[in-house]
Amino acid sequence: MGLPLEGIRILDLSWIWAGPYATKLLADMGAEVIKIEAARAYDWHRGPVSPAPGAQGITSYPDGVPGERPWNRSGWFNSLNMNKRGITLDIHTPLGGQTFLELVRISDVVIENFRYGILERLGFGYDVLRCTKPDIVVVSMPAFGNSGPWRNYIGYGVGQELLAGMAHMTGYPGEDPMKSGINHGDPITGSHAAIAILSALFRRHRTGQGAFIDISHMESSVCLVGEYILGFQMTGRNPDRMGNRHPAMAPHGIYRCRGEDQWLTIAVESDAQWQCLCEVMGRADLAKSPQFTDVLSRWCHQDEMDSAITEWTQRMDAGEAAALLQNAGVAAAPVLTSRGLLNDAHFRARGVFKTVTHPETGTHLYPGMAWHMSSIKNKPYSSAPRLGEDNSYIYSELLGMTRRRLEEMEQEGVVSTIPQERRIT
């Protein structure tokens, strides 16, 4: 049986993280995703044309080597854009714009995450696209949405957690707000976009109608903090910063283990689990202590309790300690590094990481799909497209373009496989 979205074609104008993550999810489900870039405005995650020696940043070149064509060797780009086709097309030009509309006519979805109004100013607003293809689904993902007083503002992942209130809740007691180590708003927005596209395609199947989907990165981030917003309405109080602690569990934290930078997470939600933890640690005295008899007393004496737990964990290997606690019914897990993720026996058994060979980076493990569907055999992963890799197939075979016209587009710089230095659009 084929994959669920086979036969669906998506024109992907998005870049960086949120949009490409949405289309990666759909490509994994079988959709034909055509990633559209321009030689002068390609996806930022490809990195610079001429990176500085030793540069990594958002690119992460294999073995730290940019190579002759670094724009094809970025680890982050290659991870987010597997299973997609890739073409170059400068839609700023008349010929490029005409070609883009030809692609729209044979596609089901168009997605972009530019600043508000860019696609419309280029002459490709929703009204134009649905005149070209009446049942087209168009997804627009500016940082602050397509309406409201902030719609013209620029936004990136670094600001999403802060403006959504997440950073105010994150940090240690008595210290400043703290941003997480990653921009959670991007993948959350991408997930929301993928779900919205599936919903629009299902509606189109029933009604024959297309749709315009307006998605705000900021609103996607706000959706993650619902309980705190409800709490403020009921109590008038902002949540306290608690570090790794929990408002209703104790102990709940990350504890140092044996070895360099090795850590173990433990979360105890009941008195029975606390008794089990004490038994595993060989600390019957803690189980009987009046300071730790119930969750409230443990919560009020967390410093003393955490010190006692650390005395045990720092003598233990994180993985071995986690196994002992799990077997006793206590939620615990080691804090895995990248190496730990790749070597983890459970992840290997589940097939989380897929072996993919890229023509310019070689063979590496990449994160695969987080779902398995019965009666459907997932197709082998294809590597992310090199810049303009599928120009010939898309333009010649899919659009039936003559060689003369393709040469004309190449001469005018409408299509290319060699980028220009990245500029901000």
Boundaries of domain holding 167: 9-223+370-411
CATH number at residue 276: 3.30.1540.10
* Local confidence band at 223 (pLDDT 50, 70, 90 cut-offs): confident
* Residue 26 sits in the same domain as residue 137: yes
**Tell me, what's the pLDDT at 221?**
87
Give the domain CATH number at 69.
3.40.50.10540
- Residue 238 falls within a domain, yes or no? no
391 within some domain: yes
Statement: residue 100 has pLDDT above 70: yes
Please tell me whether residues 55 and 155 are part of one structural domain.
yes
386-408 pLDDT per residue, tens:
999 999 999 999 999 999 999 89
- The whole-number pLDDT of residue 54 equals 64
Residue 422 has pLDDT above 80, yes or no: no
- Say if residue 365's pLDDT is above 60: yes
Residue 229 within any structural domain of the chain: no
Provide the number of structural domains found in the chain.
2
Q: What CA–CA distance (Å, rounded) separates 15 from 422?
A: 13
Residue, of 55 and 248, whose pLDDT is higher = 248
Asked whether residue 214 is domain-assigned, the answer is yes
Helix, strand and coil content of the chain, in percent to the nearest 5, comes to 40, 15, 45
Are 214 and 274 found together in one domain? no
SS3 281: helix
Distance, CA of 331 to CA of 340 (rounded, Å) = 19
Decide if pLDDT at 59 tops 70. Answer: no
- One-letter identity of residue 293: T
Report DSSP state, residue 38.
B
Rounded mean pLDDT, 272-279 = 97
pLDDT at 377 over 60: yes
CA distances from 270 to 144, 294, 323, 326, 387 (A): 42, 8, 19, 14, 54
For residues 206 and 311, membership in a common domain is answered with no
44-53, 325-334, 355-364: the lowest-pLDDT one:
44-53
Please report, for residues 7, 73, 335, 371, 404, the alpha-carbon distance to residue 339 in angstroms, rounded to integers and kept in the order given.
Answer: 38, 21, 11, 22, 50
pLDDT exceeds 90 at position 380: no
Rounded to two decimals, what is the model's pTM? 0.92
The pLDDT, as a whole number, for residue 57 is: 65
Q: How far is CA 390 from CA 87, 260, 415, in A?
A: 5, 46, 11
- Verify cis geometry, omega within 30 degrees of 0, for the bond prior to 251: yes
pLDDT mean across residues, the chain: 92
Look at residues 315, 334, 353 and tell me which one is the last residue of a structural domain.
Answer: 334
Indicate whether 59 and 105 sit together in one domain.
Answer: yes
Q: Are the beta carbons of 140 and 40 closer than 8 angstroms?
A: no
State the Cα torsion 115-116-117-119 to the nearest 10°. 50
Are 269 and 387 found together in one domain?
A: no
Q: Residue 292 in contact with residue 286, Cβ under 8 Å?
A: yes
Percent pLDDT > 90 in the chain is 74
Q: How many helices (H) and strands (E) does the chain have?
A: 19, 11
**Same domain? 215 vs 317:** no
Q: Evaluate if residue 345 carries a pLDDT over 80.
A: yes
What percent of the chain is modeled with pLDDT above 70? 97
Residue 140 pLDDT level (bands cut at 50, 70, 90): very high
Domain edge (last residue) among 282, 312, 334: 334
Given this model, what pLDDT does residue 425 score?
Answer: 40
Listed range (163-167, 262-266, 327-331) with the worst mean pLDDT: 163-167
Model pLDDT, residue 371: 84
**Quick one: pLDDT band at residue 381, thresholds 50, 70, 90?**
confident
The DSSP code for 144 is T
